[in-house]
Structure 1
Amino acid sequence: MCRNIRPLNNFEPPATADEVYAAALQYVRKVAGTTKPSQANQEAFERAVAEVAHTTRHLLADLVSAAPKKDRATEAAKAKARTAVRYGTPA
């Protein structure tokens, strides 16, 4: 999985349309092997992003979990602490 794609399931509040779009964009970029498609491929690239985002929204709506919802601020703080340990920077 691309490192820039973040888990979107089981958060309170739920993932926004922008977060879903960003994840879809990162996925299509990874699969296509490019961050900016040529003009000849622009339409196919944009269509793929839209379709992946659409499917992702359906997936998130259909998933069920018995686990309690995660808090975005708490998860962000945990990620920041992991980064500090990994790179030796102050949290």
Structure 2
Amino acid sequence: MCRNIKTLFNFEPPATEIEIRDASLQFVRKLSGFSVPSKANEEAFERAVEAVAASARTLIASLVTTAPPHNREVEAAKARARSAARFG
């Protein structure tokens, strides 16, 4: 899986539309192999991003959990610590 795609479910505050679209864009880029599509593929690429974003919104809204929401700042600090341990 693409390392740039972040978990969006069960966070406080909830994922924003921008975060959902960014994750969808990364997913479509990974599937297509294009970071920027050609003019000929641009429309299909954008349709795919919108379709993935719609599916992601539906999924996030449908999921349930009993776990308390994660704090974005705490999770970001954990990620920085893992990165520092890994890369020095």
TM-score (norm 1): 0.95
2:56 match = 56
2:65 match = 65
Which ranges of structure 1 fall in alignment gaps of 5 or more residues?
A: none
- Pairwise CA distance, 1:73: 0.3
Percent of aligned pairs with the same residue?
Answer: 59
Q: Provide the rounded CA distance (Å) in 1 between the counterparts of 2:56 and 2:80.
A: 26
Q: What does the per-residue CA deviation read over 1:28-64, in whole Å, with 9 as the maximum and x for residues that have no partner?
A: 0000001011111000000000010011001000000
How many pairs does the alignment contain? 88
- Pairwise CA distance, 1:66: 1.2
SS in 1 for 2:40: coil
Q: Which has the higher helix share?
A: 2
Instruction: Please tell me the residue identity of whatever aligns with 1:27.
Output: F
Give the superposed CA RMSD: 0.4
